[in-house]
Structure 1
Amino acid sequence: MLQTLVRRGPLIGVLFALVASYAALVVTAVLATPLIFGFFLLVAAAMDIVVERRFRPVVYLLRRAQFGISHRAFVQIFLLLLLIAITDANRDMSRSELLVVSLVAMLVPVGRIGYLGLLTLVRRRTQPPVEVRNVDLPPELRPASTPGILVDNLTPRLLALGLLPVLAGAVSVRLNDFRPFGMMMVLYVLVVGAGSLLLLRQLFALGARPGRQALLDGVSAALRDQYHPEVVLYFSGSATSLYQAEMWLRTVERMPHQGVVLVRQRHAIRNLGRTTLPIVCIPNQVDLMNFTLADARIALFVSNVGNNIHLLREPRVKHVFIGHGDSDKVASFNPFSKVYDEIWVAGPAGRERYARAQVGVRDDEIVEVGRPQLDVIERRTGLLPPITPERPLTVLYLPTWEGWTDDDFQTSLTVMGLDLVTRLLASPLPVRIIYKPHPLTGTRDRRAAEADRQIQAAITAAIREMPPVPQQAAAELAQLEARLADEDVTVAEAEGLQARWHEVFWAAQGTRHVLVEGSLPNLFDAYNQADVLVADISSVVSDYLATGKPCVVANPKGLSDDDFRAAFPSAYSSYLLNPGADIAELVDTIVRSDPKADARVQARAYLLGPDEPPAQQRWNAAADALMAAADLEWDGQHGAGPQLEQVTAFVEPSPAPEAMGESQPG
């Protein structure tokens, strides 16, 4: 309980300060002290802005407690009226005058509610049923945008605007003169009224735009005209899960058949990495069912999520589960996999994994395609180079996350993560650590989040004792990052910038430890830098075999070596690390003799398939075979969504409104 309070201390503190500021407003209004009331009003407004911008958990809590930002705006007005009613100033006011002041003051929350209500309507109409990237749309199909002045920094602007009449009211009470209050109210009404009129104008203009189905059909026609995509890479998930789709972008780009990325959340189309592929976002399941992908023949699924069913229902498309990494975790032999036409795995290990699990997947539904992403990884053979202070052993620690369920052998963080990092930092052998936690670390188990925090703190403390990054390198890295952040950077240019960034970054690091917190440096480049991998049971164990370098797998339950390898065959050629064992000793054995070098060669073929032909070539061959099967089964009729005639009707002259879906609600 004490640890929870300490961890949540900042949130509890800011919540207490916010509530205390409003309590002070109540007290100063009851005591009829207008100047002190005005002071605490400024304090409360400042707290409102801080909370809304930086403390989202507090925002959600306050909303659930019916004390959100709009409720607090009401409270400010009511407390001002309370101040007016209690102070001696009201002795010179008649009841009718007091009523007028009260009604005028109510224009502040009423204006706020009216503006936000109109803005909500405009946003609903401007938010299209389908969004695209890398697709040129005619002007009538492009999303309408609301002027930035009406939506940018809306919370602080409305707070400041509504604060002016309340402050003026407190001053008016002190002066016993309500002209300042009236002037601020006139200003408030003029500004909010002008904004509302602009929103109304945009709302009426949006009524002339194409209807929902017309937009779907128009975007579908534009996509088909420009690309004729035959392969669909499908993704649905949170922002932290985007890596599941991003790892396949280059593979689909290199296919001889045109691909399209279909995502189901709007965050994905904004945040998905750069690609030459067209990207289509359709959040609503009915819209997806009404969206035509006339040339689609294969759909590739990267995870087993409920939204998959909205595309799986299309019988004219062959559905393939490709996952987001081959491993011995439960996700790699989920019984849900039975719904797909085929399951593409890297090597024989993936096929045998399904056979052992007996989850109802037939052997003829499994195709071994290798791991095309790994074609760019450098391979090392022979013993490690000599380890010196100038050339330390680079250990890459990649713990997985705690998983959605309580299955054993998920993350090593909670059992041994901090201990193994501490031992590596204290190793007599010169060691450099590269640490990259899983993006979902701490999602279910706070112990994992705390272990991750302590590990990062320990590595950060060690980095402070090392020479800093040269200023020239730091400046160039900043320039490269700024350029990479520009939206106008092409995919080819971005690849060149990233290559240069990695070159400069690793040269500048020297012997320094590295904490990987963002998208750079990327994982495969970290593979190339590492001498030894320390990981949990996950896809990185299989992927790292492509380097030919040694791997240590955590055994957090302390099983015998035979039992562990029987349960997790992907660890066949890895060194096992039990809780309490000294990883420094294990690393010393690897450096001196590396007795599992030959086993790794066999394991690579077992887990990733043969080196020849290349994985991309095997992947493309699997796609060709499945497309041929789709054409044979459907006699050349393929695609998803409504019949093609409904889409082509959109681009033909003089379409009937009913054919365009105008009669459907928007």
Structure 2
Amino acid sequence: MPSVGLNKRRVKQLGALLAIFAAFAAQLVGALLAHLPVFVTAAAAGLAVDLYLRYRQPALLSMLSRVRFDVTVRQLLRDMLILLGLLRIDGIEPLREQAPLTVALLFVYALHFLCQGVAVMVRRSRTLPVVTRNIDASALRLCAAPPRILARRPGHRLLAFSVPATTGLLVTAVTGDIYAGAAGLGLSLLLMAAGTAHLVTWLLPGKRPASKDQTLEWLDGWLEEYRPTVAMYFSGGTSSAYQANMWLSTLSALDGKPLIVLRERFMVQKIQATDVPIICIPRVAHMFALEASTLKMMLHPANSGKTSQVLRIPSIKHAFTNHGESDKLSSCNPYAKAYDEVWVAGPAARERYRQAEIGVDDKDVVEVGRPQLAPIQPWTGAPEGTYTTVLYAPTWEGWDGNPGNTSVVLAGENLVRALLEDDGVRLLYKPHPMTGSVDPEAGAADRRIRAMINEAAAGRSGPRPGVEAVAELDRRKAELDRLTSSDFRTGADELERMMVQGRPEDGRAALVAAATEAWEAAYWASFPEWQHQIVVTPRLGIYSCFNQSHLLISDVSSVVSDYLHSEKPYAVANTSGMTEEEFRAAFPTVRAAAVLSPDASGVAELLESVRFPEKDQYTKARTELKAHLLGPSDPPSLVRFNAAAVALCAEADERRTLMTAHLTPGIPSQRGPGSDETAAAEARNSGPNGSPEPVTT
């Protein structure tokens, strides 16, 4: 089914492209032959198709832009063919009547390009060196963004503002009345001129935001006033925001003044609702504002190429927390030795680093548990209802092409088929958000699995929740949207969002947490207990799926380690090619799991052990492995995490004291003039988003 839909979409796209080229061909033929019906119909149809695709299928038109047949070329060609047609039509004198129309049309294009130049200047003036959220940045003279059609959509502007001109010229071609074309061109000129004049007002002092130097000066002042102590540093792609979001509750609960430091501008809106101030600093040259601040330590939930840039700040201590722990090699990345400390959940990770011999000293490994696992509910025994809820949460394929990374390709369909054959199973399928991003086979297998589940769900029937449950879900969703969704105006840009997302209301984080819990309860209550589900809703976290399930089937990943917090039964798919004995020996997280082969043999016995706990041979092993992987339950993880943060902050204070005591007079700091030639060079060479910056130390 997905492939059929994909083919239909491609046929539709191809048809649209052919329609554009056919319209131009027909317009050319009609103009050369002076055939008015063909000429006028083709020109009008071409403009209509272009307008439709511009607003409804913009991705399709991007294909034409890649071959240099963009909207400007298309509209210019369309208008030139109209002028050619006017030359071929009797009754219109080229020099006395058509020449003024041609000159007026050229002025329309001149104003369009002038407006585009002004738009570039406006966008640059509204691109500050930092982006903020949860911070009152009104001192930067923030204001609403100009209309998108003027500032950010030149294609939409050209097509929309050219409609009167094109229409008038076509009416002139049909009637021979030169005034129709003049009126249309005059209206287009008026629209272009008025739009340009309106856009220019954003360059005047009343709407122009602070300059780069003024913004950096403001940043220094804000840091001095807020006096942050602990920050979470994050850099990544669009699909990696979950790695930072899982640490928000922990960060906000720490002693001191928390801060979130980002590097990519788009990531500011990817961070979930939080009261913690957020600052995005794209360019490394501006990162050293943090050096003179009170910031003492940074938490790093992920490695990235830009991480080394912040590690250059000697006054800040750095702890690598990772975004999850598993037995994979990626959990023992050699990059970890660049941090002052590596914070892990329990003894298992310490042993993993020790055995990996990647240069991480054992004294720098700190066991802090996993504070964010607190919402996971403990195992209560056999399923009490009619159905056994099984969560299949495979991980993604990874970068190295190892078939053991994910079970989706080799075992996913077999596992799902075996589970769906059991009438007493309710299946929750939650694939990793990056599934298929590297290996197309993983993406194809994921689509086939979804089709299987949808087909099985369609074949089931039974009592459904009443309208009250649906109404409750709508009410809870509206409340959560009110708390988490900023009311952005259509066309709001970065600065306007900074203005809207200023200082949050007091206690909003607690309100969001309560609203989220209520929405999750309403979400599950809105479905019948027998319905299979494909869980891809970003708002619904995997921990909520944990609490709904009686059994987890997954791969070697951090999902398994987190699920162990509940001590519920779990199984791991072995697609590595190893024997079961080798598999268990290689991956400690599998010691308390049932191991499933790619053909899904053993699923029936696994379900039996869940329904009848006396047949479960791994109950004691899960309790022991939980302590080994996640550390002791007393003191609580958050207490240990906070203690580690306080201790590292104290070390940062000691380092800063030593640095001050040994500072040689006359030697500038990293922020002083001429003190860091590399950073200065990066500042000169990097773009507004900081992408070309080299990684140097």
With the length of structure 2 as denominator, give the TM-score of the two structures: 0.85
Alpha-carbon distance in 1 for matches of 2:329, 2:56: 37
Per the alignment, do residues 635 and 476 of structure 1 end up closer, same or farther by CA in structure 2, a change over 3 Å counting? same
Per the alignment, do residues 56 and 223 of structure 1 end up closer, same or farther by CA in structure 2, a change over 3 Å counting? farther
Residue correspondence of structure 1 range 2-81 to structure 2 within 5 A: 7=6, 10-11=9-10, 13-32=12-31, 33-53=35-55, 55=57, 57-81=59-83
Q: How far is 1:405 from its partner?
A: 2.6
Q: How far is 1:217 from its partner?
A: 2.2
Per the alignment, do residues 197 and 412 of structure 1 end up closer, same or farther by CA in structure 2, a change over 3 Å counting? same
Q: How far is 1:156 from its partner?
A: 4.1
Q: How far is 1:595 from its partner?
A: 1.0
Alpha-carbon distance in 2 for matches of 1:483, 1:472: 16
Pair 1:221 & 2:232 matched: no
Q: How far is 1:48 from its partner?
A: 3.3
Q: Which residue of 1 aligns with 2:522?
A: 504
Q: How far is 1:43 from its partner?
A: 3.9
For 1:463-516, what per-residue CA distance to the aligned partner results, in whole angstroms no more than 9, with x for missing partners? 333355532222221232233223468322222221211222222323122222
- In 2, are the aligned partners of 1:380 and 1:549 still within 8 Å (CA)? yes
Per the alignment, do residues 42 and 355 of structure 1 end up closer, same or farther by CA in structure 2, a change over 3 Å counting? farther
Q: Which residue of 2 aligns with 1:571?
A: 590
Q: How far is 1:333 from its partner?
A: 0.9
Q: Which residue of 2 aligns with 1:339?
A: 338
Per the alignment, do residues 602 and 294 of structure 1 end up closer, same or farther by CA in structure 2, a change over 3 Å counting? same
- In 2, are the aligned partners of 1:126 and 1:144 still within 8 Å (CA)? no
- In 2, are the aligned partners of 1:35 and 1:171 still within 8 Å (CA)? no
With the length of structure 1 as denominator, give the TM-score of the two structures: 0.89
- Amino acid in structure 1 at the alignment position of 2:630: L
Deviates more, 1:391-400 or 1:349-358: 349-358
Deviates more, 1:581-590 or 1:435-444: 581-590
Pair 1:515 & 2:558 matched: no
Per the alignment, do residues 48 and 458 of structure 1 end up closer, same or farther by CA in structure 2, a change over 3 Å counting? farther
- Amino acid in structure 2 at the alignment position of 1:479: R
Alpha-carbon distance in 1 for matches of 2:471, 2:152: 31
Q: Which residue of 2 aligns with 1:418?
A: 413
- In 2, are the aligned partners of 1:28 and 1:34 still within 8 Å (CA)? no
Q: Which residue of 1 aligns with 2:324?
A: 325
Q: How far is 1:456 from its partner?
A: 2.0
Alpha-carbon distance in 2 for matches of 1:469, 1:460: 19
- In 1, are the aligned partners of 2:413 and 2:449 still within 8 Å (CA)? yes
Per the alignment, do residues 53 and 476 of structure 1 end up closer, same or farther by CA in structure 2, a change over 3 Å counting? farther
Per the alignment, do residues 154 and 422 of structure 1 end up closer, same or farther by CA in structure 2, a change over 3 Å counting? farther
Q: Which residue of 1 aligns with 2:491?
A: none
Pair 1:310 & 2:309 matched: yes
Pair 1:398 & 2:399 matched: no
For 1:55-113, what per-residue CA distance to the aligned partner results, in whole angstroms no more than 9, with x for missing partners? 4653443222112233322222222223223x323x64134644433332233433333
Deviates more, 1:62-71 or 1:200-209: 200-209
Q: How far is 1:623 from its partner?
A: 1.0
Pair 1:427 & 2:426 matched: no
- In 1, are the aligned partners of 2:244 and 2:323 still within 8 Å (CA)? yes
Q: How far is 1:38 from its partner?
A: 4.0
Residue correspondence of structure 1 range 264-279 to structure 2 within 5 A: 264-279=263-278
For 1:123-167, what per-residue CA distance to the aligned partner results, in whole angstroms no more than 9, with x for missing partners? 111121112111113434536633567458775454222123113
Per the alignment, do residues 558 and 36 of structure 1 end up closer, same or farther by CA in structure 2, a change over 3 Å counting? same
Alpha-carbon distance in 2 for matches of 1:366, 1:500: 38
Per the alignment, do residues 269 and 379 of structure 1 end up closer, same or farther by CA in structure 2, a change over 3 Å counting? same
Residue correspondence of structure 1 range 512-591 to structure 2 within 5 A: 512-582=531-601, 583-591=603-611
Secondary structure of the residue aligned to 2:599 is coil
Alpha-carbon distance in 2 for matches of 1:414, 1:208: 54
Residue correspondence of structure 1 range 52-451 to structure 2 within 5 A: 52-53=54-55, 55=57, 57-85=59-87, 87-89=88-90, 92-95=92-95, 97-142=97-142, 145-147=145-147, 150-151=150-151, 155-156=155-156, 158-205=158-205, 209-225=209-225, 227-290=226-289, 294-381=293-380, 383-386=381-384, 390-428=385-423, 430-451=424-445
Pair 1:474 & 2:470 matched: yes
Per the alignment, do residues 241 and 196 of structure 1 end up closer, same or farther by CA in structure 2, a change over 3 Å counting? same
Per the alignment, do residues 166 and 285 of structure 1 end up closer, same or farther by CA in structure 2, a change over 3 Å counting? same
Pair 1:491 & 2:509 matched: yes
Alpha-carbon distance in 2 for matches of 1:198, 1:204: 11
Alpha-carbon distance in 2 for matches of 1:455, 1:51: 33
Q: How far is 1:645 from its partner?
A: 11
- Amino acid in structure 1 at the alignment position of 2:452: A
Per the alignment, do residues 217 and 28 of structure 1 end up closer, same or farther by CA in structure 2, a change over 3 Å counting? same
Alpha-carbon distance in 2 for matches of 1:39, 1:482: 48
Per the alignment, do residues 217 and 100 of structure 1 end up closer, same or farther by CA in structure 2, a change over 3 Å counting? same
- In 2, are the aligned partners of 1:346 and 1:371 still within 8 Å (CA)? yes
- In 2, are the aligned partners of 1:473 and 1:504 still within 8 Å (CA)? yes
Secondary structure of the residue aligned to 1:380 is coil
Per the alignment, do residues 557 and 238 of structure 1 end up closer, same or farther by CA in structure 2, a change over 3 Å counting? same
- Amino acid in structure 2 at the alignment position of 1:139: A
Secondary structure of the residue aligned to 2:517 is helix
Alpha-carbon distance in 2 for matches of 1:473, 1:154: 46
Q: How far is 1:458 from its partner?
A: 2.3
- Amino acid in structure 2 at the alignment position of 1:602: E
- In 2, are the aligned partners of 1:137 and 1:222 still within 8 Å (CA)? no
For 1:581-605, what per-residue CA distance to the aligned partner results, in whole angstroms no more than 9, with x for missing partners? 2323432244331111111111101
Per the alignment, do residues 573 and 52 of structure 1 end up closer, same or farther by CA in structure 2, a change over 3 Å counting? farther
Structure 1: runs of 5 or more not aligned: 647-660
- Amino acid in structure 2 at the alignment position of 1:255: L
- In 1, are the aligned partners of 2:376 and 2:565 still within 8 Å (CA)? yes
Alpha-carbon distance in 1 for matches of 2:327, 2:84: 66
- In 1, are the aligned partners of 2:465 and 2:525 still within 8 Å (CA)? no
Deviates more, 1:408-417 or 1:298-307: 408-417
Secondary structure of the residue aligned to 1:129 is coil
Alpha-carbon distance in 1 for matches of 2:648, 2:322: 18
Q: How far is 1:209 from its partner?
A: 4.8
Per the alignment, do residues 6 and 501 of structure 1 end up closer, same or farther by CA in structure 2, a change over 3 Å counting? closer
Q: How far is 1:563 from its partner?
A: 1.0
Deviates more, 1:178-187 or 1:27-36: 27-36
Q: How far is 1:362 from its partner?
A: 1.5
Structure 2: runs of 5 or more not aligned: 487-504, 661-667, 673-682, 689-697
Q: Which residue of 2 aligns with 1:615?
A: 637
Alpha-carbon distance in 2 for matches of 1:411, 1:347: 25
- Amino acid in structure 2 at the alignment position of 1:471: V
Alpha-carbon distance in 2 for matches of 1:163, 1:547: 63
For 1:208-245, what per-residue CA distance to the aligned partner results, in whole angstroms no more than 9, with x for missing partners? 754312202203322441x3211110111122111010
Secondary structure of the residue aligned to 2:205 is helix
Per the alignment, do residues 380 and 78 of structure 1 end up closer, same or farther by CA in structure 2, a change over 3 Å counting? same
